[in-house]
Structure 1
Amino acid sequence: MTLHNVAPTHTPPVLAAQAVMKSYGPTQALAGVSLAVAPGESVAIMGASGSGKTTLLHVLAGIITPDAGSVTFQSIAGPLRVNEMSEKERSRLRRESFGFVFQQGLLLPELTVVENVALPLMIAGYPRREAEGRALHWLHALGLAGLEARRIGEVSGGQAQRVAIARAQVTGATVIFADEPTGALDSSTGEEVMSALLDSTVSQGHTLVVVTHDETVAARCSRTIRMRDGLLEADAARAQHPAGAQFLGAGWEQQR
């Protein structure tokens, strides 16, 4: 099993939440959560349904804004107060700096594999040839060479999730957010997908924040946060361990 290392503590956090609160009607999803996520860290957020873990992920990613508190992202240009951004600014931030992998992938079935991966770049204004060239690089790196022209319905569930990972990575995202990325997969395929996700993110010095119910997935991360009733119940980092799988850029080599 690969355990990815915690980033050095002297660097400023890439993400920081301070006393974040969020309610939906009478239900308080977040009740004053504070945490900091270091660059290069892999963080698993766990908890029972309704504990607030997905809401926390969405607040950190700027998908929703908190009712109170702050979220700060350390961009190349300096710190950005995400909760004070307009919807247009947050959309740009998500498009340029964040990547997303969801349980069902949310890929477009009418597009080919390479078109799905290239889509974020094309939306950002890249020429089709350049966008698809970058997409091909990531597909090859994630072990999907030869599947470029297939539709999503013509690939397996594990392959589709690796397509989703390639799409999340193609823009050069600093932080990857994943919500139950292995939840719809069998244990063996889930292990492969988690390896691909970690090795294409943390091994490159980027940051992974993943919501999961799976203790096996959490054990692969360098830190596990447990939530209960909208609060952090536990926050534990694991001892560093040498990475056992390498992401080589031109091809993903899996060690199982």
Structure 2
Amino acid sequence: MNTPVIEAHALIKTFGTTRALAGVDLAIHRGESVAIMGASGSGKTTLLHVLAGITAPDAGGVVFRPAEGAPIEVTALSESARSRLRRERFGFVFQQGLLIPELTAVENVALASMINGVRRQDAVQHAASWLAALGLAGMEDRRIGELSGGQAQRVAIARAQATGAELVFADEPTGALDSTTSSEVMDALLWSTTGQGRTLVVVTHDPDVAARCTRTVAVRDGRIISSAVAA
């Protein structure tokens, strides 16, 4: 198998008296879709946050290997450098989308590129093309409150892809959706990531979502207890 696109070694993270990560090793390869599952409090979201550079571990390391350029030791970066890494290299989809309600769908998507220095006109055009690809043509000027839950999540998916992110992290992206809409959102998420040769890491409690991924990693008490490739 190819070299991991992101790799964690001996991750430890403690919150007060709770050890959220207790020596986690994990390698994720380019083009994989990996579901991280576990009960509430198992450490699965903490693991995602440490991999993505949102949270710094107490010990251990994370290395990101972009398609071009030298490997990046995420855990050695300053907070501002981790923020830049997330903005430029990673994409994120969360349960509630975390979209800006005052902006339209196309503005929400374009903003990610504009923050990275892309001209507004170019960013809007690129954003509109992603929205169309995800079935939202004609909805570019709707504000988030005018969209259904599934439509809003597709806006979030488009935003995650607008900067060309090699690696997308999704935290319970279907958690607030019914089963039919959840399936549609996963269709969109997988098509826009692994379908384009990119990599997806998704935290989920839903076995149906996990079954759509190429590998499922089970976490309990801050440790990985199993890693199973889909049949």
- Normalising by the residue count of structure 2, what TM-score does the alignment of the two structures yield? 0.99
Query: How do 1:15-94 residues align onto structure 2 when only pairs under 5 Å count?
Result: 15-75=6-66, 76-94=68-86
Q: How far off its partner does 1:114 sit?
A: 0.4
The equivalent of 1:159 in structure 2 is 151
Deviations 1:85-141 (A, max 9, x none): 011111111011100000000001100010000011111121110110110110011
Question: What does residue 245 of structure 1 align with?
Answer: none
Amino acid in the other structure paired with 2:55: I
Q: How does 1:120-135 map to 2 (within 5 A)?
A: 120-135=112-127
Shift of 1:215: 0.2
Which range moved further: 116-125 or 186-195?
116-125
Residue segments in structure 1 that go unaligned for 5+ positions in a row: 1-8, 240-256
**Which residue of the other structure, out of 186, 191, 194, is the alignment partner of 2:183?**
191
Secondary structure, counterpart of 1:221 in structure 2: coil
Aligned residues with identical type, % of pairs: 67
Say yes or no: does 1:175 pair with 2:153: no
Matched residues, number? 230
Give the distance between the partners of 2:42 and 2:83, measured in 1 at CA.
26
Find runs of 4+ consecutive structure 1 residues off by over 6 angstroms: none
Q: CA RMSD in A?
A: 0.6
Once the two structures are superposed, what CA deviation does each residue of 1:199-226 show, in whole Å capped at 9, x if it has no partner?
1100111000000000000000000000
Q: Which runs of 5+ in 2 are unaligned?
A: none
Q: 1:12-41 deviations in whole A, cap 9, x for unaligned?
A: 100000000000111100000001000000
Length-normalised TM-score, structure 1: 0.89
SS of 1:77's equivalent in the other structure is coil
Any idea what the Cα deviations from partners look like across 1:33-56, whole Å, max 9, x if unmatched? 001000000000000000000000
Residue identity opposite 2:224 in structure 1: L
State the distance in 2 between where 1:89 and 1:36 align. 22
Q: Which residue of 1 aligns with 2:210?
A: 218
The residue type paired with residue 55 of structure 1 is: T
Q: What amino acid sits opposite 1:33 in the alignment?
A: V
Task: Give me the whole-angstrom Cα distance separating, in 2, the residues matched to 1:58 and 1:183.
Answer: 17
Aligned to 1:244: none
